[in-house]
Amino acid sequence: MVSRVRQEEARKVWSERRIKHLQSLAGAMGKSPAEAVIESMGATSPPLVEEPKVILDYIVSDGAQVTRPSIDPYREPIETHIHLFSGKVRLSMPFIAKLDDLDEGLGRAVLRASYNLGTLTYYRGGGRGWLDGYEEAVLIDVDTASGMGGEEARRYAGLVVGHNSGERIRFTAAFGRMLGIPVILRHPTSRNLNQIIHATLSGVSGIMLDEDMDEGEEDLEVSLSEADTLLKEKGLRNRVSIIASSRRVRGADDIFKLMGLGADAVCFRDMVQVAVGEGDLETLQDRVECLYLGLQKEVKLLAGAAGVSSLYTTLIGNRELFRAINLDPSIRKRLRIKPGGVG
Amino acid sequence: MNPWETPIHKSGCGVLGILRKSGAGKIPSEQALTAIECVRYRGSRLGAGFASIDLDRGGSAFKVKAFVDSMETAELVDKLLSERQGIRIVERGYEDYDPGRRFNTWVTWVKGEADTVSQAVSEINQVLWGERIRGRIYSWGRFVDVFKGVGYPRDVAESCMLAKGGVEADLWIAHTRQPTNSPGIYPVWSHPFSSHEWAVVHNGDISSFGANMEFLLMSGVRSFVGTDSEVIAYLLDHLTRREGLGIEEAAQLLCNPYDNLCPPHIRRLITRYRGAQLDGPFTVVAGYSDGRDVYLLALTDRSKFRPIVVGEDEERFYVASEEAQIRALSPGARVWTVEPGRYFLASLRRGLIDPGRDSLVAAPYLGNDGWDGGIDAEGMDYRRLNDEIRRRVEAGERRIKVFNVRGQRYLGVGLPPGVKLEIHGVPGNCLGNFNEGVEIEVYGNAQDDVGDTMHAGRIIIHGDARDVIGQALQGGMILVKGNVGNRAAIQMREYMDRRPYLIVGGRADDYFGEYMAGGVAVILGLGVKGEPVGKHVATGMVGGRIYIRGRISEEKVGLQPPRQDVERYLKGLLKEGLITPQTYQKIIEEGASFKAVERHLTGKPLKRIWRLFENKHTKQLEIEYRKLTSEDIELIKPALTEFWKTFNLPPNLLQQTLNQEYTIIHPR
């Protein structure tokens, strides 16, 4: 059965097909940058042909049919925007890129592209000078924000605080509330998710479940779904946004499914690196923009096929749109997804 | 059963709502039956139902109605009710009892607080809804009463004593069901669904069902029969009773307006109550009482994937799937349709609260001249009427008049060229489909899907037409004196010398000319205030021409990216130093439309931002606003002349109309 994807295993999820596909979206290869690749009927995708590598691979979308028609995203609107942090931030598409240890050229390219296309980045690195002018598109880690005054902090989309100290979380939440900036708790994919409840009650606006943190014990899918469920059981779900974060997010399908499991937005990293290749700032920025626009079209196609016209209101946490095939029942139950073939 | 894993059952159906106006008499149940039986073919024998709301009924006790499979289950329901602190049973017994039925209705009158009863009902339903279905509490209001079962509406009405000399009420809603994904063999899946003082019927299949159910689970609802219609009743009750929202706020939340059209306070509510929005196809008709007033509410989805019409006369308001249902009760009612994504609301005391559209336009009722030797279609089934017309054509008649038409479908289909069919009344859906040369003239309004895949001939509508008129129209002419609904002229096409025309005298709703590939579609907007067309005009258009009298906002044409996204990209270009603040300002002032972007940008910045507007499969269209040229006049004048002649309009008005300015849309 699927085991948790450790960072060292993360590269195994990158099949040749995936890489080529992302590169065509970005325009690093092929002739149709920013265009969703349309394939013929039938698919080689997992779990039935290609070997499933992660839990997401066992999940399929239960498409629209006659009484619930699909929507053609090239002629009719499908809204990909989402509102994060009780409406304080609007993302035009549910993407957040991790800038962490990207080299500076690529980092700048991703930052600019994210700003231009109305999405966000998450930064937890050394200096922050190079973010100048683009802070509005950055969730900044409090570790990086040290010494930052209120005026500077207000320029950012949000402050990200680690999970280790409850006191620090409460302090940052209070600081954020005072300045009117969203505070996001970055939390590993642990078994015990009680801390996200405490943090929500102490006023954080978002939870970033980050699979790349060392303390993680669960697969992102499971942890995300359980966080969503737990918050719902406590009646707190609409008070916080959940960001699902992992380096192994591979494309629009992963993003779409993670949203179905409860993510308001999805944070990724390697996908961008794999897609854009090398080049100067202008080339890289252009490729990131093409990648994002291509992914947006793919997300729209997936939503349209499920009869969903708004990601924000209809997709997030809507497990009914999905079915699991050959997935270990104990995992399936934790995800609250029905097995394939059930009405 | 684990509520998180409830199997779902979906439906597509016929709906009805009637509300009396203040001062008018109460509505007898037979009338609800007449109007829902009028669209019997929309349903099946797998489920029908009625709900009434009556202010005079409201005592202090709740009428808890449950389907039970045995006396033992009935006892269990009462035991669980009476065990609950704050609930007192005042009366109990079977409403009617038929040992041949799997489920009979058990009624328990109880006193207590609404929230206490609500909680008890939810918990009892969880107990009854196990591996074996033992029963279900399906209504528990003081003013609401629900009657439902398995069968056609008439069967259910007869078994519930609603048919002859039945019950009177301030409001009725009714439903005939066409289950698509569910057994439908037990009455628990029949509509209406009810929660407290709300009762709901629904035609649709919502993609938001899972999100809605999660929202309700979060709000403490624990038992579902698994139809999407049930969650709609729960959502309305939860939002108004538990969250204290107004009916109109709740209606807007459920309708889920597009972000760019969403008022800020509704956007805030959507964030707060995310999961309560509906998506996918729906027409919902709901009745509600707060104990002081009675409300009739109707909702339609953004794309308007299901039919809905609304009517009004001196005495009542009506909502229906088809106009014929309204005409069956009120031949002269004023009838209109709701705009996509909007809601209709009226109340007993306040009258019309929201008509469901900005400009309330409805063609006048033309009456029915009475029988004069033609066919009297009164009470005739659509198959019989079509057979009679065909019989006359085979006997050599070439001019056939039909009177008292009320919703009969497929009229004019399959007749030979040269026949003229004159219709008085309201023809049903699919009028004149596949027409190859028949002339059809309707003295009244037409319903959905007129002239689908028509190749030749003429269809003349003296009133309004509803949705999808002229779909795949590929020859001949359709003239509508009044308005048309959603998705008119979609997929029109032409081949060699066969060029179809659709001329609309009034206005059109959304998606006019979607996927249009040929032919000419004209909207004259005569007597219309404001722009005579809705959103997404000509989206996906690849051929043909659209003429709309007057200026149409550019953002209404085709598919445009959200304005916020365009503004943000422009800011990005500004930051990169690729455009000047002046250019930025100008584009914003001109609405950040694709035309504004094209006017002010060139080279690299244009190429980059253009990716938001166009791609391999989406192209922007040419939008011209100007006077007609001689080519334009050559193209449309013959059809307009026909229009003028047919509807007997003043000739000088034609010349005036041709001299005015038009928005002309065609592919680049």
Task: Specify the pLDDT at position B100.
Answer: 86
B204, B256, B576 ranked by CB distance to A313: nearest: B256
Q: Is A321 on the interface with B (CB under 8 A)?
A: yes
Alpha-carbon distance values, A313 to A56, A298, B15, B208 (Å) = 22, 18, 26, 8
Task: Specify the pLDDT at position B182.
Answer: 63
Task: Specify the pLDDT at position B188.
Answer: 86
Q: Flag whether pLDDT at B374 surpasses 80.
A: yes
Q: Is A61 on the interface with B (CB under 8 A)?
A: no
Q: To the nearest whole number, what is the mean pLDDT of chain B?
A: 93
Question: Does the beta-carbon distance from B565 to A289 stay under 8 Å?
Answer: no
Domain that holds residue A169: 82-339
The pLDDT tens digits for B586-596 are: 999 999 999 99
Task: Specify the pLDDT at position B472.
Answer: 98
Q: Flag whether pLDDT at A219 surpasses 80.
A: yes
Task: Specify the pLDDT at position B178.
Answer: 81
Give the number of other Cβ atoms within 10 Å of residue A327's Cβ.
23
Q: Long-range contacts made by residues B445-453, C-beta under 8 angstroms, separation at least 24?
A: B445/B323, B445/B335, B445/B363, B445/B482, B446/B480, B447/B307, B447/B322, B447/B323, B447/B324, B447/B407, B448/B307, B448/B322, B448/B485, B450/B478, B451/B476, B451/B478
Query: Residue A136 is encoded by which pair of tokens?
Result: 């509005």
| Strand-strand pairing, B543-549 and B661-667 | antiparallel
What is the C-alpha separation between B417 and B439, in angstroms, rounded? 8
pLDDT band at A1 (very low <50, low <70, confident <90, very high): very low
Please state the length of chain B: 668
CB-side exposure of A244: number of CA atoms within 13 Å? 31
pLDDT band at B11 (very low <50, low <70, confident <90, very high): very low
Q: Which of A310, A321, A334 to mutate to test the interface with B (most CBs of B within 10 A)?
A: A310
Q: Flag whether pLDDT at B361 surpasses 70.
A: yes
More confident residue, B284 or A148: B284
Q: Which of B182, B207, B209 to mutate to test the interface with A (most CBs of A within 10 A)?
A: B207
B207, B273, B539 ranked by CB distance to A238: nearest: B273
Looking at CA atoms only, how far is residue A184 from chain B in angstroms? 17
Task: Specify the pLDDT at position B273.
Answer: 96
Q: Is A50 on the interface with B (CB under 8 A)?
A: no
Nearest chain B residue to A308 by CA distance is B207
The pLDDT tens digits for B618-655 are: 899 999 999 999 999 999 999 999 999 999 999 999 99
The terminus-to-terminus CA distance of chain A in angstroms comes to 26
Question: Does the beta-carbon distance from B210 to A117 stay under 8 Å?
Answer: no
Question: Does the beta-carbon distance from B611 to A34 stay under 8 Å?
Answer: yes
Alpha-carbon distance values, B570 to A34, A138, B578, B641 (Å) = 19, 19, 9, 47
Q: What residues does each domain of chain B span?
A: 14-58+150-354, 60-142, 366-463, 563-617
What is the C-alpha separation between B429 and B465, in angstroms, rounded? 10
What is the C-alpha separation between A58 and A2, in angstroms, rounded? 10
Looking at CA atoms only, how far is residue B232 from chain A in angstroms? 14
Nearest chain A residue to B608 by CA distance is A286
What is the C-alpha separation between A232 and B3, in angstroms, rounded? 14
Assigned domain for A23 exists: no
For residue B208, list chain A residues with Cβ-Cβ distance below 8 A: 308, 313-314, 318
Task: Specify the pLDDT at position B421.
Answer: 97
Instruction: Provide Rg for chain B, Cα atoms.
Output: 27
Q: Flag whether pLDDT at B495 surpasses 90.
A: yes
Task: Specify the pLDDT at position A8.
Answer: 52
Q: Which of A152-156, A338-342, B177-181, B423-427 has the lowest mean pLDDT?
A: B177-181
A235, A297, A308 ranked by CB distance to B279: nearest: A308
Q: Which of A76, A83, A90, A292 to mutate to test the interface with B (most CBs of B within 10 A)?
A: A76
Mean pLDDT of B247-259: 96
Task: Specify the pLDDT at position B224.
Answer: 83
For residue A312, list chain B residues with Cβ-Cβ distance below 8 A: 270, 274
Question: Does the beta-carbon distance from A75 to B540 stay under 8 Å?
Answer: yes
pLDDT band at B4 (very low <50, low <70, confident <90, very high): very low
Q: Flag whether pLDDT at A298 surpasses 90.
A: yes
The pLDDT tens digits for B132-156 are: 899 999 999 999 999 999 989 999 9
Q: Is A280 on the interface with B (CB under 8 A)?
A: no
Q: Which residues, at least 6 apart from B563, have a Cβ–Cβ distance to it below 8 Å?
A: B260, B555, B591, B592
| Strand-strand pairing, B517-523 and B543-549 | parallel
Give the number of other Cβ atoms within 10 Å of residue B265's Cβ.
10
For residue A71, list chain B residues with Cβ-Cβ distance below 8 A: 303
What is the C-alpha separation between A7 and A13, in angstroms, rounded? 11
Alpha-carbon distance values, B444 to B120, B425, B488 (Å) = 51, 5, 18
Nearest chain A residue to B178 by CA distance is A67
Question: Does the beta-carbon distance from A68 to B182 stay under 8 Å?
Answer: no
Q: Flag whether pLDDT at A320 surpasses 80.
A: yes
Q: How many domains does chain A have?
A: 1
Question: Does the beta-carbon distance from A133 to B575 stay under 8 Å?
Answer: yes
Task: Specify the pLDDT at position A2.
Answer: 39
Question: Does the beta-carbon distance from A118 to B617 stay under 8 Å?
Answer: no
The pLDDT tens digits for B296-355 are: 999 999 999 999 999 999 999 999 999 999 999 999 999 999 999 999 999 999 999 999
Residue A281 sits in a domain whose CATH number is 3.20.20.70
Looking at CA atoms only, how far is residue B472 from chain A in angstroms? 17
The pLDDT tens digits for A80-123 are: 999 999 999 999 999 999 998 888 899 999 999 999 999 999 99
Task: Specify the pLDDT at position A146.
Answer: 83
B204, B271, B615 ranked by CB distance to A83: nearest: B271
Nearest chain A residue to B206 by CA distance is A68
The pLDDT tens digits for B33-45 are: 999 998 888 888 8
B211, B272, B568 ranked by CB distance to A314: nearest: B211
Q: Is A194 on the interface with B (CB under 8 A)?
A: no
Question: Does the beta-carbon distance from B214 to A72 stay under 8 Å?
Answer: no
Question: Does the beta-carbon distance from B302 to A116 stay under 8 Å?
Answer: no
Q: Is A282 on the interface with B (CB under 8 A)?
A: no
Q: Is A67 on the interface with B (CB under 8 A)?
A: yes
Question: Does the beta-carbon distance from B259 to A81 stay under 8 Å?
Answer: yes
Mean pLDDT of A190-206: 95
Q: Which of A203-212, B87-96, B296-305 has the lowest mean pLDDT?
A: B87-96
Looking at CA atoms only, how far is residue A11 from chain B in angstroms? 31
Mean pLDDT of A31-59: 85
Question: Does the beta-carbon distance from B615 to A314 stay under 8 Å?
Answer: no
Q: Flag whether pLDDT at B665 surpasses 60.
A: yes
How many interface pairs between A and B have CB atoms less than 8 angstroms apart? 170
The terminus-to-terminus CA distance of chain B in angstroms comes to 58
Mean pLDDT of B405-417: 96
Query: Angle formed by the axes of helices A281-305 and A16-26, to 10°?
Result: 110
pLDDT band at B1 (very low <50, low <70, confident <90, very high): very low
Sheet holding B517-523, edge to edge: B375-376, B399-406, B420-426, B436-443, B456-461, B477-480, B501-504, B517-523, B543-549, B661-667, B621-627
Q: Flag whether pLDDT at A10 surpasses 80.
A: no
Nearest chain A residue to B257 by CA distance is A310
Please state the length of chain A: 343
Task: Specify the pLDDT at position B370.
Answer: 64
Instruction: Provide Rg for chain A, Cα atoms.
Output: 19
A32, A133, A316 ranked by CB distance to B616: nearest: A32
Alpha-carbon distance values, B409 to B158, B179, B302, B419 (Å) = 27, 21, 26, 18
Give the number of other Cβ atoms within 10 Å of residue B126's Cβ.
15
Task: Specify the pLDDT at position B286.
Answer: 98
Name the CATH superfamily for B14-58+150-354: Aminohydrolase, N-terminal nucleophile (Ntn) domain (3.60.20.10)
B8, B204, B617 ranked by CB distance to A74: nearest: B617
Question: Does the beta-carbon distance from A316 to B274 stay under 8 Å?
Answer: yes
Q: Flag whether pLDDT at B121 surpasses 70.
A: yes
What is the C-alpha separation between B2 and A342, in angstroms, rounded? 15
Question: Does the beta-carbon distance from A238 to B217 stay under 8 Å?
Answer: no
Assigned domain for A295 exists: yes
More confident residue, A204 or B58: A204
The pLDDT tens digits for B532-576 are: 999 999 999 999 999 999 999 999 999 999 999 999 999 999 999
CB B544 within 8 A of CB B569: no
Instruction: Determine if the peptide bond prior to B281 is cis (ω within 30°).
Output: no
pLDDT band at B180 (very low <50, low <70, confident <90, very high): low
CA trace torsion A219, A221, A223, A225 (10° rounding): -160
CATH code, residues B60-142: 3.30.70.1710
More confident residue, A246 or B9: A246
Q: Which of B182, B235, B271, B490 to mutate to test the interface with A (most CBs of A within 10 A)?
A: B271
